Amino acid sequence: MRFPAFLFSMAMIAASSGCSGDQAGPADPQPAAKPAAPKAAAAPARRHDESSYAEPDKVRITDLALDLKLDFDTKQLAGTATYTLDWTDPKATRLELDTRELSIGQVEGEADGAWAPLQYALADADPVFGSKLSIEAPQRNAKIRVSYHTAPTASGLQWLEPAMTEGKQLPFMFSQSQAIHARSWVPLQDTPGVRFTYSAHVTSRPDVMVLMSANSDPKMQRTGDYRFRMEHPIPSYLLAIAAGDLVFKPTGERSGIWAEPAMVERAATEFEDTEKMIQAAEGLYGPYRWGRYDILVLPPSFPFGGMENPTLTFATPTVITGDKSLVSLIAHELAHSWSGNLVTNASWKDIWLNEGFTTYVQGRITEALYGEEMANMERQIDQAGLKADLAGMGEEDQALALPPLTERDPDNALSQVAYVKGSWFLEFLEQRFGREVFDPFLRGWFDDHAFQSADTDQFVAYLKQNLLPKNPNAVTAGELDAWLNQPGIPAFAPLSQSRTFSNVDTARIAWRGSSQLPNRQVTDDWGTQAWVHFIEGMGQTLKPEQLKQLDEAYHFTGTANGEIAMRWYPLAIRSGYLEARPAAGEFIERVGRRKLIMPVYQELVRTPDGLTFAREVFARARPGYHPITTASVEALLARADAAKPATAEAPAEPQKQP
C-alpha cells in the first residue's frame, strides 16, 4: 500500500460483539485480553506478531472458505468462514482467532464427515486489537466453521449510498484490511505471519458487480451469485472485496481497469502503461506469478492512494490527472506483487520489508518507463519529506527494524521510515555493489522466499550469505547497523538530485527576489513533481498578495491535482490567504484520501475560526468518509480541543500512500 507523508494516528472505535449458540456453543465470556507475548519455546521473537491473538506455532489456517451474503440495506456481510487447519503442536486443542465487532452465531467442527458444535468464548473488546475468539477443539478438527455477521461500523468496510458514487445510481462497498482490519469482516488469524489460500461464494443484489482479490474474470456477468478462488497462499491483510456499478476495460492481455462507467475510460487511458510496467518488473525480478493484474478505481472516499490486493489493486481516483504524472502509484502497487504479496513481513514491526522494498522497486519501474530524471524527482521529494518527518518523530520509530509494538496499533508503525528509509537503504546497497550484482541478489531474495513471510533477521542472514561476500569491503557492520537499528538517516546515505528541481529552485528564488514570475516557456514544461517542489520550497508563509499573484498565474486554488492541493491549501491557510478557504473546504469535503486532506485539516485547526470551519466541513463530509479517515479527523479535532488553537498539532498517524 502506498501511504503518504502526512498521516495521523487512528483512534480505533471500541468494538462490542454479541454471540449466540446452542448446545456446546459459547462458553462464559472472557475478559479483554492482549495478544500473548512470545514464549521461550515459540518461534523467534522477531517473527512474533504482537498485534494478533493467534498462536500459529500451535495451529495454522492453511485454507479459508467463505460463504457470504452481501446486504446493502443492513450494511453487513453475513455467512460462514470455514478453516482448513494444520495442528503443528501435538498438544494444542484450541484455535485462537482475531475478531473486531463481529457477532458470532455458531462454531462447528468437522469429524468423520459430520459437523458438530464446538465450545467457544468471545473475549471483551480491546479498543485496538478487538476480541479474541477462543475455540475449544479437543478432537483437533481438520476443519472448523464459524457462522457470523459483521457490524455496520466494521472498520475494514465502507458502505456508500448511491449519491456518494461517481454514477449516483447504485450503492458501493469496499474493504480495506491492512493492517489489522480484516478481523472486522472475517474471523481469522489476522497476522501477516500466517498465509492461506482461499475461496469465496458471495451473493448480493443482482445489479451490482462483486469482485475479490482472487480470480475476478473480466467476462463475469452481474448475476448476484459470484465465486472466487485464490490459489496462492496470502496473508489476511490481502483479503479484499468490493461491490458496485463496475465495468471492465482492458489495458493488456493480462491487465485491465474495473471502475464505474463514468470513470472507466479516463482510468484506462491514464493507466494504459500497466502492461509495460509488468514487463519492466519481470525483466528485473522474474515472472509475475499472480495471473492477472487488474486495477479497481474506487470512489474518492478511499482513504489511501492504493492497496496492493493480489490480482486487483485498489486505487484512488485522485491520481487520475490526465497527464500520467502520478502513475508511479500504480508502479508501487504492482511492485508489491514481488515485495509484500510474494515475500511478506512476518509482523508489522518489519513493515520496511514490504514498503521499503516496494518503494525501491517502484523507482526502478518508473525509471525504466519514464526515465531516470522522473525517478530522481520522486526520490528527492520522498527524501526531503522523510527528513522533515524525522524532526517530530521519536527515535524508537526511526529504525527500520522496529522494536516490539506491544500494545501499539500496528497502523502507527506505517511511517515514511518504512517506505523511504527502507528504499534509501536498498539504493545504498545498489550503489555500493552495482546493479549488475545487486539486481540478481534482490531477485534471488524474492525467488527463495516466494509465498513466505520473513523478518529482518532472515534478510540480514540472506544479505550476509548472498551479497556481502561479492565485495567484502563494500559495506561495514557499522553501516548496516546504522541503517537497520539506529535513528535518523546515515550521514553516508546517497542523495538523489534532480536537474529539473535545480531549475525550479532558480525560478522560485528569482521570483521571491523580484516578484517576476518565471517565463511561461519554462513552467509550461513542469509536471506535478516540479510544481510540488516549487510550492514546498516557499517556506512556512508568504504574503497574501504573493499568493494571489501565484494563484492568478497558475490557478492553484481549485486545482484537480491532489498532490498540489495538499501543499497549496496549507500554505494559503498559514499565510492568511482567505480567498482559498472555500475551495480548500470543498476539496476536503469531496476527497477522503488521508494523505491529501489531513494536512489541510491540520492547518485549519490551528486557529479558532479555522477549527470552526473544519468542524463544519467535517460534518458535511463525514457520511462519505471511510471509517479510517473519520477516525483520523476525529482524533485531530479532539486533540485541537484539548490544546490551544494556535498550537494544536495533528496526532501521529500511519503512512501507506499508497
The pLDDT of 147-174, averaged and rounded, is 94
Separation between Cα atoms, residue 563 and residue 304, nearest integer Å:
13
Angle at alpha carbon of residue 349, lines to 60 and 378, rounded to 5°: 120
CB 612 within 8 A of CB 603: no
296 - beta bridge partners? Answer: 258, 314
What is the CB neighbour count within 10 angstroms for residue 405?
Answer: 19
> Quick one: which of 419, 176, 199 has its CA closest to 308?
176
Cα dihedral across residues 103, 237, 315, 259: positive or negative: negative
Which segments of 187-273 does DSSP mark as H helices, in order? 261-270
The pLDDT of 224-241, averaged and rounded, is 98
> Quick one: which of 311, 309, 304, 329 has its CA closest to 319?
329
Q: Considering the chain, what is the average pLDDT of its residues?
A: 91
CB 294 within 8 A of CB 274: no
Taking the C-alpha atoms of 152, 154, 155 and 161 in order, what is their torsion angle to the nearest 10 degrees?
Answer: -30
CB 454 within 8 A of CB 353: yes
Please tell me the predicted confidence (pLDDT) of residue 11: 33
Write down the pTM of the prediction.
0.90
Confidence of residue 10 (pLDDT cuts 50, 70, 90): very low
Architecture of the 347-485 domain: Orthogonal Bundle (1.10)
Please tell me the predicted confidence (pLDDT) of residue 32: 64
The pLDDT of 571-590, averaged and rounded, is 97
> HSE (CB half, 13 Å, CA atoms) of 358?
36
- What is the 8-class DSSP label of residue 237? G
Of 285, 419, 569, 625, which one is the catalytic site residue? 419
Separation between Cα atoms, residue 123 and residue 33, nearest integer Å:
7
Residue 110 is a catalytic residue: no
Q: How far is CA 55 from CA 107, 178, 265, in A?
A: 19, 20, 46
User: Which of 450-459, 604-613, 642-651 is the least confident region?
Assistant: 642-651
Reply yes or no on whether the pLDDT at 644 is more than 50.
yes
What is the CB neighbour count within 10 angstroms for residue 197?
Answer: 18
Domain segments of the chain as ranges: 347-485, 499-642
Reply yes or no on whether the pLDDT at 97 is more than 80.
yes
Residues 279-301 have pLDDT tens digits of 999 999 999 999 999 999 998 88
The pLDDT of 349-356, averaged and rounded, is 97
CB 368 within 8 A of CB 273: no
CB 325 within 8 A of CB 529: yes
Which segments of 191-335 does DSSP mark as H helices, in order? 261-270, 274-285, 328-335
Of 50, 55, 333, 355, which one is the catalytic site residue? 333
What is the CB neighbour count within 10 angstroms for residue 246?
Answer: 24
Amino acid identity for residue 524 in this structure: D
Show the cell assigned to 262. 463514468
Q: Cell 466453521, residue?
A: 145
Q: How far is CA 505 from CA 158, 500, 559, in A?
A: 42, 9, 22
Confidence of residue 23 (pLDDT cuts 50, 70, 90): very low
Long-range (24+ apart) CB contacts under 8 A made by 322-325 are 322/266, 322/270, 323/527, 323/528, 324/270, 324/273, 325/527, 325/528, 325/529
448 - beta bridge partners? Answer: none
- Overall residue count recorded for the chain in this entry: 658
Residue 579 is a catalytic residue: no
Separation between Cα atoms, residue 398 and residue 355, nearest integer Å:
15
Say which CATH class 499-642 falls into: mainly alpha
User: 3-class secondary structure for 366-407?
Assistant: HHHHHCHHHHHHHHHHHHHHHHHHHCCCCHHHCCCCCCCCCC
Please tell me the predicted confidence (pLDDT) of residue 472: 96
DSSP secondary structure string for all residues of 536-586: HTT-S---HHHHHHHHHHH--TT-S-HHHHHHHHHHHHHTT-GGGHHHHHH
Residues 372-392 have pLDDT tens digits of 999 999 999 999 999 999 998
